[in-house]
């Protein structure tokens, strides 16, 4: 896709959304997701009380499609297949003995479908809907009719009752969105005084989507790249969901997400990237999964936290194998240290403190009063000149003051006692002293390490270059995403910044390591 076409596509999508939401308040997100699912050829379920605009969204969405045909129906327990899929053709039945429906202007012949109070539909309607939702095929008598439904919007003010067998059809709705009343006061005031006819088709004809365009786009959407950081985010989400379901307290309400839903969700991400004019999915698109993976509203926050955690901690870091890089450099450092460092242990005597402040004289001193000398005073003695030294008994009472100096041997004190120089040894203990001796590695080993360091450095620099080249593109406009809240942009940019810093740190570690073993020679 050329840069010009990419920009035109983004601007056209933005203009279409602005036109669709004109006169609507706090419904931009719902309309955006509805348009996105329709272009992707998927379905959306709107959950909310009566009067919050569910049917309005569906009625306005049909204006996005040039020559689009819409079908809208309010389900009840008395609804029949004739009312939804069309009446039986009497002529076919009479002349050809064929049981076929006249589907024009009914659901099989429509492009945009809105089914309100969907859970009130009977089993016959539900069974036909399953095939339409999943395969876009309606079984009309003996013929499999390929329907051209672009988007199906369903709505209800409640979730499917657990007592009913509605799980299969519930699973077919890819996007699930809860709508509430207008929350901001100023928007409420604008809404109640606004006289604009919100049901009027005010979409410029040039902005509308044609059937030919949508058919061409479908192939281009399938060609949108799903890069490593997105694939790894999906795998992490799957792992987190499995961990969630394994917890005993979640056994009653697990997150049940099957392969078909994952596949359809990825196409939704591709469609989002395409409508933004991008040729690859980015991490911002991943936040659309928030609306695809919950089964009950109480699980939405859990899903949101899982996505944020996966992107924040692992997004680009997994794509560049940051964890493996850190591990490999740690192992490289361990190999170098093992080969270049020899650890030796020496035993040496160390003065033994008594009551933290004293050293004790070692031998029997019956003729010399005092057995303790303060550590501070001993350390201050000269090994040449005499000075006054205080000696204390075991109760730390001062019992003698005499001239002394450090003795001729280590850990001794020499005093002038009775006119004679007498040397006393202080009590010591044996301690271990550890010493590291460095040795030069063998030339062959150093060459091997050089080759290892070069490969690591090359890979790190390639990743830095990739982020320098593509990083700005990845972050360009992420806060202006058409279908995702701008607050999530901070999560994506924070992860990319951390990866940049981590790569720079690993390169520095590698440089220090190489200098360390090279300096040995």
pLDDT at 517 over 50: yes
CB 37 within 8 A of CB 133: no
pTM of the model: 0.72
Domains of the chain: residue spans and CATH: 1-210 (3.40.50.300), 224-339+443-521 (no CATH), 353-426 (no CATH)
Beta pairing partners, 390: 401
Q: Which pLDDT band, with edges at 50, 70 and 90, does 521 fall under?
A: very low
pLDDT at 501 over 50: yes
Q: Which pLDDT band, with edges at 50, 70 and 90, does 475 fall under?
A: low
Distance of alpha carbon 275 from alpha carbon 209, whole angstroms: 12
> Do the strands 420-425 and 175-178 form a parallel or antiparallel pair, or are they unpaired?
unpaired
Long-range CB contacts for residues 13-20, cutoff 8 Å, separation at least 24? 13/275, 13/276, 13/482, 14/482, 15/204, 15/207, 16/64, 16/203, 16/207, 16/208, 16/209, 17/482, 19/202, 19/203, 19/204, 19/207, 20/60, 20/61, 20/63, 20/64, 20/203
> How many residues are recorded in the chain?
521
Radius of gyration of the chain (CA): 40
Task: Summarize the confidence of residues 362-391 as an average pLDDT.
Answer: 86
Beta pairing partners, 392: 372, 398
Q: SS3 of 435, please?
A: strand
Is the backbone of residue 105 left (phi > 0), alpha (psi -120 to 50) or beta? Answer: left
Give the dihedral sign, CA 197/198/199/202. Answer: positive
Residue 355 CB contacts under 8 Å (≥ 6 apart), including other chains: 396
Residue 195: its pLDDT value, please?
A: 79
Task: Summarize the confidence of residues 420-435 as an average pLDDT.
Answer: 87
Residue 45 CB contacts under 8 Å (≥ 6 apart), including other chains: 118, 153, 154, 155, 156, 170, 173, 175, 176, 177
DSSP state of 479: G
Distance of alpha carbon 400 from alpha carbon 394, whole angstroms: 13
pLDDT tens digit sequence for 260-301? 999 999 999 999 999 999 999 999 999 999 999 998 888 999
CB 54 within 8 A of CB 116: yes
| 434 CB-contact burial (10 Å; exposed 0-12 / middle 13-18 / buried 19+) | exposed
Residue 476: its pLDDT value, please?
A: 63
The mean-pLDDT minimum among 32-41, 119-128, 161-170, 180-189 falls in 161-170
Q: Tokens representing 135?
A: 């395969």
pLDDT at 27 over 60: yes
Residue the block writes with tokens 């911002």? 284
Cα angle for residues 240, 242, 246 (degrees, 5° grid): 115
pLDDT tens digit sequence for 221-230? 999 999 888 9
Q: What is the mean pLDDT of the chain?
A: 88
pLDDT tens digit sequence for 233-259? 999 999 999 999 999 988 888 898 989
Distance of alpha carbon 101 from alpha carbon 342, whole angstroms: 89
pLDDT tens digit sequence for 337-365? 888 888 888 888 889 998 889 999 987 66
Residue 94: its pLDDT value, please?
A: 84
Query: How far is the first Cα of the chain from the last one, in angstroms, to the nearest whole number?
Result: 55
């Amino acid at each position: 896709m050329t840069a010009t076409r990419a920009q035109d596509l983004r601007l056209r999508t933005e203009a279409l959304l602005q036109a669709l939401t004109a006169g609507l308040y706090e419904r931009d997100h719902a309309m955006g997701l509805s348009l996105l699912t329709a272009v992707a050829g998927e379905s959306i379920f709107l959950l909310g009380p009566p009067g919050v605009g569910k049917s309005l969204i569906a009625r306005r969405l049909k204006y996005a499609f040039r020559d689009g045909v819409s079908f809208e129906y309010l389900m009840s327990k008395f609804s029949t297949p004739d009312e939804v899929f069309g009446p039986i053709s009497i002529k076919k039945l009479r002349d050809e003995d064929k049981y076929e429906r006249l589907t024009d202007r009914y659901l099989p012949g429509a492009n945009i479908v809105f089914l309100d109070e969907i859970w009130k539909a009977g089993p016959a309607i539900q069974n036909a809907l399953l095939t339409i939702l999943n395969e876009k095929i309606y079984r009309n008598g003996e013929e499999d009719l390929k329907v051209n439904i672009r988007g199906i919007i369903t709505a209800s003010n409640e979730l499917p009752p657990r007592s009913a067998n509605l799980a299969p059809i519930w699973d077919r709705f890819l996007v699930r969105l809860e709508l509430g009343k207008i929350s901001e006061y100023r928007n409420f005031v604008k809404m109640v005084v606004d006289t604009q006819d919100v049901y009027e088709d005010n979409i410029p004809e040039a902005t509308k989507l044609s059937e030919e365009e949508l058919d061409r786009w479908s192939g281009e959407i399938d060609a949108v790249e799903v890069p490593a950081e997105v694939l790894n985010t999906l795998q992490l989400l799957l792992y987190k969901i499995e961990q969630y379901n394994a917890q005993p307290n979640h056994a009653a309400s697990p997150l049940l997400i099957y392969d078909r839903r994952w596949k359809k969700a990825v196409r939704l991400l591709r469609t989002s990237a395409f409508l933004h004019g991008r040729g690859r999915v980015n991490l911002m698109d991943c936040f659309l999964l928030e609306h695809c993976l919950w089964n009950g509203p109480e699980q939405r926050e859990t899903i949101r936290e899982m996505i944020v955690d996966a992107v924040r901690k692992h997004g680009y870091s997994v794509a560049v194998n940051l964890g493996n890089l850190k591990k490999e450099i740690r192992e490289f450092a361990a190999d170098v240290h093992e080969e270049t460092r020899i650890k030796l242990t020496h035993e040496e005597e160390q003065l033994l403190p008594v009551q933290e402040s004293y050293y004790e004289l070692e031998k029997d001193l019956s003729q010399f009063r005092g057995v303790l000398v303060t550590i501070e005073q001993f350390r201050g003695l000269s090994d040449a000149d005499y000075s006054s030294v205080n000696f204390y008994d075991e109760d730390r009472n001062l019992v003698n003051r005499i001239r002394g100096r450090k003795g001729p041997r280590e850990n001794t004190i020499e005093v002038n006692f009775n006119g004679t120089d007498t040397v006393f040894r202080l009590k010591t203990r044996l301690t271990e002293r550890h010493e590291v001796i460095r040795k030069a590695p063998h030339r062959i080993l150093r060459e091997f390490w050089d080759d290892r360091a070069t490969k690591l450095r090359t890979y790190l620099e390639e990743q830095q270059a990739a982020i320098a080249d593509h990083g700005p593109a990845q972050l360009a406009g992420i806060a202006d995403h058409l279908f995702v809240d701008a607050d999530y942009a901070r999560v994506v940019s924070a992860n990319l910044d951390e990866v940049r810093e981590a790569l720079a740190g690993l390169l520095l570690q590698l440089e220090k390591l190489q200098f360390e073993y090279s300096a040995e020679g």
